[in-house]
A and B are shown apart, each in its own frame.
Chain A
Amino acid sequence: MHNCSCENPLVPGIVEVVKIIDETPDIKNFYVRSENGVPFNVMPGQLAMVSLVPVGEGMFSVSWQEENDHLEFAIKRTGLMTDELHKIEVGQKLGVRGPYGNGFPVEECKGKNMLFIAGGIGLAPLRSFIKYCFKHREDYGKITILYGSRSAADLCFKDELFEKWPQEKDTEVYVTIDNPEEGWDGHVGFVPAYLEELNPSPEGTIAVICGPPIMIKFALQSLEKMGYNDEQVITTLEMRMKCGIGKCGRCNIGSEYICLDGPVFNLAQLKQLPPEW
Chain B
Amino acid sequence: MKVLKTGKLEQVIDRLAQQADVYVPMLRGQQSGFYSWKTYNEDFDDLMFDILNVYQSPKHLILPQTEKMYSFRQEGQEVSIEEVAADIEPKVIMGIRSCDVRGIEYLDEVFLTKGYVDEFYKARRDKITIIANACYNPGKNCFCDSMGVSPTDPEAADVIMREVNGGYVWDVKTEKGEAITKQIEDLLEEQDVELFSLKPFLRKVEYDGVAEKLKDMFEHPMWEKYSEPCQTCGICTYLCPTCYCFDIQVKAWGDEGYRFRCWDSCMYHEYTQMAGGHNPREAAKERFRNRFLHKLQFFPERYGRPLCTGCGRCIVACPTGVSIIKIIDEVKEAETGA
Which residues of A approach B to under 8 Å, CB–CB?
2, 8-14, 51, 53-58, 78-82, 88-89, 91-95, 213, 238-240, 242-243, 245-250, 252-255, 260, 274-277
Contact = CB atoms under 8 A, between A and B. Distances in A.
Contacts of B114: 246, 260
Contacts of A254: 293, 298, 301
Nearest to A91: B77
Decide if the interface of chain A is mainly helix, strand, loop or mixed. Answer: loop
B298 A248 contact: no
B250 A238 contact: no
Given A95-B72, A246-B114, A82 B275 contact: yes
10 closest pairs, A vs B, by CB? A54-B252, A249-B245, A255-B298, A79-B275, A93-B79, A255-B301, A245-B116, A8-B119, A78-B275, A92-B77
A58 B275 contact: yes
A247 B80 contact: no
Interface in B150-208: none
Given A250-B245, A276-B280, A2 B83 contact: no
Contact of B116 (A247, A275, A276, A277): A247
Interface stretch (B33-41, B42-50, B266-274, B317-325): B266-274
A9 B116 contact: yes
16 contacts: A2-B115, A9-B116, A11-B69, A12-B81, A53-B72, A54-B250, A54-B255, A57-B250, A238-B274, A240-B274, A242-B247, A248-B246, A249-B266, A249-B294, A255-B301, A260-B115
Given A57-B248, A93-B77, A252-B294, A247 B110 contact: yes
Contacts of B299: 255
Contact of B80 (A14, A94, A249, A252): A14
A94 to B, nearest CB: 7
Nearest to B116: A245
A95 B248 contact: no
Interface residues of B, number: 53
Contacts of B290: 252
A253 B302 CA distance: 12
A79 B111 contact: no
A264 to B, nearest CB: 16
A12 B69 CA distance: 11
Nearest to A93: B79
Nearest to A237: B280
B58 to A, nearest CB: 20
Given A2-B116, A254-B298, A255-B297, A248 B247 contact: yes
B280 A239 contact: yes
Contacts of B302: 255
A250 B266 contact: yes
Nearest to A2: B115
A248 B79 contact: no
Contacts of A92: 77
B256 interface: yes
B74 A213 contact: no
B225 interface: no
A240 B274 CA distance: 5
Given A10-B69, A255-B299, A276-B280, A240 B272 contact: yes
B79 A53 contact: yes
Contacts of A82: 275
A104 to B, nearest CB: 19
Nearest to A273: B218
B116 A246 contact: yes
B211 to A, nearest CB: 10
Contact of A54 (B74, B244, B281, B293): B74
Contacts of A95: 72, 79, 81
A246 B79 contact: no
B136 interface: no
Contacts of A89: 77
